[in-house]
Each structure stands twice: as structure tokens, then as C-alpha cells.
Structure 1
């Protein structure tokens, strides 16, 4: 396999595994939010604010991975 093929494969892994991790993380967090708000409904607004903040941070980590994969794919720092 050529270097370009390995770069394409690495980009696919970076984006794919990052997406899987972000989806699982946000899914678990959403489930825990629903459990916590069912137990203590008076804390729902506070928990919702924290949940959306964490969802943004999880999504930002995934998008940083996408940006790095696009750097590898289009800028080709390895000379592929």
C-alpha cells in the first residue's frame, strides 16, 4: 500500500472512532440526565445547563479530530 492509502485509512479511523466515541458519550450522558431529573425534578434546569455544556465539549473534541483528519487528507504533511 502506498503512503496516500495509509493516510486515507488513518483519516477514516480518526473520524469513525471519534464519531463512535462522541455518540456513545452523549448517549450515556443524556440517559444519566434523564435519570437524575426524574429523581430530583427541582434540579432539572441546573442539570440541563451542565448537560448542554458537556455535550458541546464532547462534540468539540470530535470536531478537532475531524479537523486533524482533514489536515492529513488535504494538506498531506507526510508528503503523500
Structure 2
């Protein structure tokens, strides 16, 4: 306790902790917003893919690919998370 009072009295501000806190906040926002973007885009694509497959069952693979494409956005969010 005495050391914290002495360091507070000296006025030395450690700015590295602010830097790491901002990096963690940025990484969390990158992953969260990437997840929101993925969810918003995957809904209509999934509905269209189900309709396409209901009409023609031979297009199952194409519908599966179109449904999986928005997940790449989330991979970019994970990349930003690990880089920060």
C-alpha cells in the first residue's frame, strides 16, 4: 500500500497499460462486429439456399457453398483478434 501511495505521489503514469486495454477492446470489437456481419448476411443467404434446394435437389453443393461463404468474414475477425 505504501508503494502505491509513493508511486502516485511521484506522478509516473504507466501508459503501456492503456495501450494494452485499447488493443483488447479493439480485438473484441473486431470479433464481435465480424460475428454480427456474418449473422446478418447468413440469414437471407440461408433462406435462399433452402428455397433453391427445395426446387432442385442437384444444387445442394452450390447452396452449401453459398451458405458457408459468409463465415469467411468471421475468420477475418479471428485474424484481427490474434494479431492484436
Place the TM-score, normalised by the shorter chain, in its bin. Answer: 0.5 to 0.7
The higher-RCO structure (CA 8 Å, 6+ apart) is 1
The corresponding residue for 2:81 is: 69
Question: Aligned to 1:55, which of 54, 67, 70?
Answer: 67
| Structure 2, unaligned runs of 5 or more | 1-16
After superposing on structure 2, the runs of 4+ consecutive aligned residues of structure 1 that deviate more than 4 Å are none
Give runs of aligned pairs for residues 1-80 of structure 1, distance below 5 A: 2-38=18-54, 41=55, 43-46=56-59, 48-72=60-84
Give the number of the structure whose alpha-carbon radius of gyration is greater: 2
| TM-score (normalised: structure 2) | 0.65
| Structure 1, unaligned runs of 5 or more | 73-80
Describe the shift of the 1:8–1:19 C-alpha distance in structure 2 as closer, same or farther (beyond 3 A).
same
RMSD: 2.0
| TM-score (normalised: structure 1) | 0.67
Equivalenced residues, count:
68
